């Protein structure tokens, strides 16, 4: 493992960048700021190395830009209605950061934290953070770890582990934006995607809080059961797409968490790079980068709307407030673990 300086945070702390490489010369780069996945560098069909996730060159750019590029998100990925949860009859208010709602745990999410490196090997690194009750407003003090492993099969495994001293929410995810033509290549919407989900959770309106319904994808633009270009139906006059400005919806993988399964496949015909995504989570959020504003990324690359797509494994949005959704509440003292894998190959 290689360690490089990644700049100083606004608080005057030094951030670092850690580089893992396998026998195939595939590399991943992770910073301790936000336990953030900065780069995934894989070969295309010609053997050229392509960085297939969006990101920035230093910690200052991550601090001043929004979008959660590559971030570890927690304690709660996605949205909580009215920034409020009730656990064991007690009401807890979370700071709102998207109107009256909480998105990705509010303004002090895990993506803003400088994580501690707990351990590492040649092919893995584990980051640790103690999230106090005061940090985000969730109940309990949470000890959380995230481990990135680069396998010899060109897979990036992300393992999360959490334990708290009160019953609390544990709904962690990674927010990487993928572009299988290369992060600097522009729109990713002609890349093909397949999601192994028969249903999704419709939202009420443009605030993207689910109605509580589990709706079939059959006969709608939401259907990705057969691989298709992301752009194929994204501009369809369909209420759900109109609300979100494109795809930004949770797909139902199962009715409970814990069973490992393939959640999605993606493919870029231009480069031949394919990705298989697996998880033991019960849902996955497809976000098509609808609100990426014009900005400069790694190496001076120009980023703009829809130049990357996210597959965020998760509990369903607002699950803590929706009784018919699988619950992300973990009891005091219980250890919660979850895993997501992104495997890359050429075809």
Annotated catalytic residues are 175, 312
* Whether 101 contacts 81, CB under 8 Å: yes
How many other β-carbons are positioned within 10 Å of the β-carbon of residue 253? 25
Helices (H), the chain: 59-64, 133-136, 239-244
Q: Cα–Cα distance between 263 and 44 in angstroms, integer? A: 23
How many other β-carbons are positioned within 10 Å of the β-carbon of residue 132? 11
φ, ψ for residue 26, nearest 5 deg: -70, 140
Q: Cα–Cα distance between 144 and 313 in angstroms, integer? A: 17
Q: Cα–Cα distance between 342 and 265 in angstroms, integer? A: 9
Q: Cα–Cα distance between 327 and 316 in angstroms, integer? A: 9
How many other β-carbons are positioned within 10 Å of the β-carbon of residue 327? 16
Give the burial class of 346: count Cβ atoms within 10 A of its Cβ; 0-12 exposed, 13-18 middle, 19 or more buried: middle
Sequence-distant (≥ 6) Cβ neighbours of residue 310 within 8 angstroms = 175, 176, 177, 178, 285, 286, 287, 289
Q: Cα–Cα distance between 247 and 277 in angstroms, integer? A: 18
Helices (H), 65-160: 133-136
* Whether 166 contacts 142, CB under 8 Å: no
């Amino acid at each position: 493992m290689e360690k490089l300086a990644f700049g100083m945070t606004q608080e005057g702390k030094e951030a670092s960048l850690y580089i893992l490489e396998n026998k195939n010369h595939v590399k991943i780069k992770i910073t301790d700021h936000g336990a953030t996945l900065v780069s995934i560098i894989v070969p295309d069909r010609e053997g050229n190395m392509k960085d297939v996730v969006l990101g920035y060159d230093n910690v200052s750019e991550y601090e001043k830009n929004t979008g959660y590029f590559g971030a570890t998100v927690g304690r709660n990925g996605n949205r909580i209605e009215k920034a409020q949860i009730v656990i064991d009859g007690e009401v807890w208010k979370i700071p709102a950061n998207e109107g009256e709602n909480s998105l990705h745990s509010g303004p002090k999410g895990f993506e803003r934290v400088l994580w501690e490196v707990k351990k590492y090997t040649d092919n893995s690194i584990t980051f640790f953070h103690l999230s106090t009750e005061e940090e985000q407003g969730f109940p309990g003090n949470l000890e959380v770890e995230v481990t990135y492993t680069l396998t010899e099969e060109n897979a990036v495994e992300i393992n999360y582990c959490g334990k708290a001293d009160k019953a609390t929410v544990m709904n962690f995810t990674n927010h990487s934006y993928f572009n299988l033509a290369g992060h600097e290549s522009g729109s990713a919407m002609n890349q093909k995607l397949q999601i192994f989900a028969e249903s999704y959770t419709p939202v009420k309106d443009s605030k993207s809080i689910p109605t509580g319904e589990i709706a079939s994808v059959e006969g709608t633009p939401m259907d990705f059961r057969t691989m298709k270009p992301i752009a194929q139906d994204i501009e369809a006059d369909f209420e759900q797409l109109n609300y979100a400005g494109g795809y930004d919806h949770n797909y139902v993988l199962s009715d409970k968490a814990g069973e490992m399964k393939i959640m999605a496949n993606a493919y870029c015909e231009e480069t031949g790079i394919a990705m298989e995504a697996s998880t033991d989570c019960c849902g996955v959020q497809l976000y098509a980068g609808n609100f990426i504003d014009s900005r400069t990324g790694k190496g001076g690359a120009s980023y703009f709307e829809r130049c990357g797509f996210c597959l965020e494994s998760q509990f369903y949005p607002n699950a803590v407030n929706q009784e018919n959704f699988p619950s992300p509440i973990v009891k005091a003292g219980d250890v919660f673990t979850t895993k997501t894998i992104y495997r890359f190959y050429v075809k």
